Structures are given as C-alpha cells and as structure tokens.
Structure 1
Amino acid sequence: MSMELNLHGEARAIDSIAALEQALQQARALAQCELWLTQATDAEQGPALCMLRNGGNAWLMYLSGQDDLSYHSLGDEEADGACSYLLTNGQVDEYPEAWCIDVEQCQRAFLAFFKTGGAQPAVIAWEAD
C-alpha cells in the first residue's frame, strides 16, 4: 500500500511504516507545520488525515472523503483560548485550544491511519464538524 504525505507543501509517496516514521520525525523538527496523509492524491477525495502544529500545540482533522463528513480531534474540552497555525499557503488560522492533543498522540494516529488503509484512528477522541 502507498499513501501520499504532504509536509508543508512537499509531497512524497509513503509505502512503509519506516518511511512514515522518518517523515514524522522530520515534521517534529519543524516549529510549525501542516502535514497531510492521504490515500488519494486529492485530499478531498479522502480518506485524509491532517495535523496542524505550532510548537507544543497540535490538532488533527480527519476527512472521510465519501460522505463529506469531517472530524477534528478533541482534547481538553475546558481549555480556553485559541492557537494560531501557519498553513502551507501562508495563511494563519486560529483554532480552539480545546482541539489540541499531544504531538505523540498525533503521530500514533498517523501510524494507525496508514496501517488501517485510511480508517479514522480510534486512538483519538473525535468530534464531528
């Protein structure tokens, strides 16, 4: 199985857990990043998993691609405030800190997504958008 990984605008094929782990380490070295892992070349065709990260803050978005449903990770629901994220296109967006989860959790979700061929990772609490 092969998936496409796009790290802040640079796409590459991922055909093994080892290749994915290496890419996740590269992403972790960046202060901020937008990271996509997709089964199709177009994320909207899904399934797709996206992580936005700014330092210690990170959250995930899952797109099923079939039923147009999307989900975001759910962290501490009582967390106040928002965190800004730099997108690949240069835009800066803000999202609630309540969506933030640990970067390690995000990485486990990417591994689970790859291993299951694009299923929504069960290692994350999700909320429908």
Structure 2
Amino acid sequence: MTDAAETGTVGAVESWSLVGDAVAVSVGSVTEVLRARIADGKLESLLESSSGRTLFVVSNSERATVMLLDHPGDPGEHATDPGAKDWSDGFVLSNGQADEYPDADTVPLAEAFRIVRHILATGRPPADAAWAVDR
C-alpha cells in the first residue's frame, strides 16, 4: 500500500528548493531531480525549506546519507541502516572532497529517495525509517 506521502497527495508543510540552482522541488519531482544530479556527477544536493531548514543528500550512486538540519549550526538528524556492517566510499562533496561513511549511517538510494519524499510531504521522516537524532 502506498501512503499519501509517496504519491504526493499530501499538501507540503513547507516549500523546498535546491540550493545553488534556485530550483523548486516538490514531492513529485524530487526523485527525478536527485537522480538527474547524480547522473551528472553532482553527488551532493542541498535542499532548503521556506522555514529555513536544510536537507542534505550525498550519494555514491548506490547509497546516500540523508541529514535534516533545523538551522545553521544544528547537528541535526540523519537516516540510518541499523545492522549494516560495511563502509562505503565515493561520497563526493561539491568542493571535491571524497568521503567514506559507515553503511550504518547511510541508506540504499531507493530508501533515501523515499525518506526525502516523505520529508518534503510531511516535514518529518517516515515513522518506519531508521533515524538518529544527533542533537
């Protein structure tokens, strides 16, 4: 069963745009926007909401780290993959820095897209997503 956040039928709590490109993104378009950026080698994406929150997504084309920050300087919160034991590399930031993360602090790309769509639709991660608060 697909919930309303997956279909984009829930009204957005806040509006979101892609920082640097000033491209507005919606629940229905965000997966396509992120996939296109990844295909173009832009593995880091920063979305900013109308309320000043930021959603950081960085991928290595297979996994992604998804972080939600309430304000500048906020340690935020992030998606997790409990039980994952390995590390993955290839997370290239816009400044050229290439990072490696424990898989426990990243999620498969499809899960990252699901989480991002839900945050855009409801303002919070899905209740069934593993999530760590870093504050």
Partner secondary structure for residue 11 of structure 1:
coil
Over 3 Å counting, the alpha-carbon distance change for 1:86 and 1:72 in structure 2 is: same
Q: Which stretches of structure 1, 4 residues or longer, exceed 4 Å deviation after superposition?
A: none
Alpha-carbon displacement from aligned partner over 1:50-96 (angstroms, at most 9, x marks no partner): 11111312221111228934112111434133434110011122221
Quote the RMSD (CA, aligned, Å): 2.7
Q: Distance in 2 between matches of 1:86 and 1:15?
A: 22
> What TM-score comes out, normalization by structure 2 length?
0.70
Aligned partners of 1:59 and 1:101 also within 8 Å? yes
2:17 is the alignment partner of 1:4: yes
Change (3 A) 1:15 1:32: closer
Unmatched runs of 5 consecutive residues or more in structure 2: 1-13
Q: Percent identical across equivalent pairs?
A: 26
Match of 1:124 in 2: 129
Partner residue in 2 for 1:101: 107
CA contact (8 A) 1:83 1:97 kept: no
The count of residues paired between Structure 1 and Structure 2 equals 120
Residue pairs, 1:1-129, within 5 angstroms = 2-6=15-19, 10-14=20-24, 16-30=26-40, 33-40=43-50, 46-65=52-71, 68-116=74-122, 119-122=123-126, 123-129=128-134
TM norm structure 1: 0.73
Map Cα deviations across residues 17-48 of structure 1 (whole Å, 9 max, x no partner).
444343133134245601122115xxxx8422
Query: Which structure would you say has the larger RCO, counting Cα contacts within 8 Å and 6 or more residues apart?
Result: 2
Kindly indicate whether the alpha-carbon contact (under 8 Å) linking 1:34 and 1:86 is maintained by their aligned counterparts in 2. yes
Structure 1 pair 15/30, CA: closer, same or farther in 2 (3 Å)?
Answer: closer
Q: Which has a greater percent of strand?
A: 1
Structure 1 residues 78 and 109 mapped into 2: Cα distance closer, same or farther (>3 Å)? closer
